[in-house]
Amino acid sequence: MEVTLTSCPNKDSRGFTVVELLIVVSIVSVVSGFALMQITRARQVMARENAARQFGSYLEKARVDSLRRHPAASAQMAQVSIINATFYSVTIDADGNGTLDPPKVMSLPAGSSLQFNTPYPRTIYFNWRGRTVDAAGNVASPSFITISTTSGPASRIDLTTAGQPTLEGPAVSSPVTSSSPPAPNFRSNTQIP
């Protein structure tokens, strides 16, 4: 007996066609590309915010050091100097012996394209009250320093009139004003002994 092969269409065939596979691969690659861009952007923002936070903490350390030591001359005041677009130095009494230590040179994170957006060199001195002053000891007006990437948003470090660094932006004035309290209102039949 001879068996003949006949092609009979299988209606239950399973699998993917090449077109379906190409569509899925292209969708996955587009979604992965967007996710990678968002992760890269988030890393840049975190690096910028961390650099601003670290710079602000060194400003606060210098301020507290001047408050603790009460220096009279600007040569003995704690200071933070912005040397160029990526380097700054911190001069404080870190060992607690009463005199300033040699400056500690710091840099913004390498490979992050972060930079200071301020004229440099710039030195921020803190007097015995913790306020920012110039090299002659005159009280300086409140100022700010920004750290940004070459093509992106910036993190702003504000110095208040008291010399305190803040990362949230300029301090807002309070809408509450001091006023005298209202006079008490007694009922007419109240007996006060």
Is pLDDT at 72 greater than 50 in this prediction? yes
Q: Please state the pTM of the whole predicted model.
A: 0.72
Taken in order of first residue, the domains within the chain and their CATH numbers are 19-166 (3.55.40.10)
CA gap 158, 147 in Å, rounded:
11
**pLDDT per residue as tens digits for the range 75-91:** 999 999 999 989 999 99
Q: Considering only CA atoms, which of 185, 158, 183, 154 is closest in space to residue 169? A: 158
Please compute, for residue 11, the number of CA atoms within 13 A of its CA located in the half-sphere on the CB side. 0
Is 169 in contact with 156 (CB distance < 8 Å)? Answer: yes
Average pLDDT over residues 11-26: 84
Q: 50 or 161: which carries more pLDDT confidence? A: 50
Is pLDDT at 179 greater than 80 in this prediction? no
Average pLDDT over residues 113-132: 90
Is pLDDT at 171 greater than 50 in this prediction? no
> DSSP 3-state helix, strand, coil percentages of the chain (rounded to 5)?
30, 20, 50
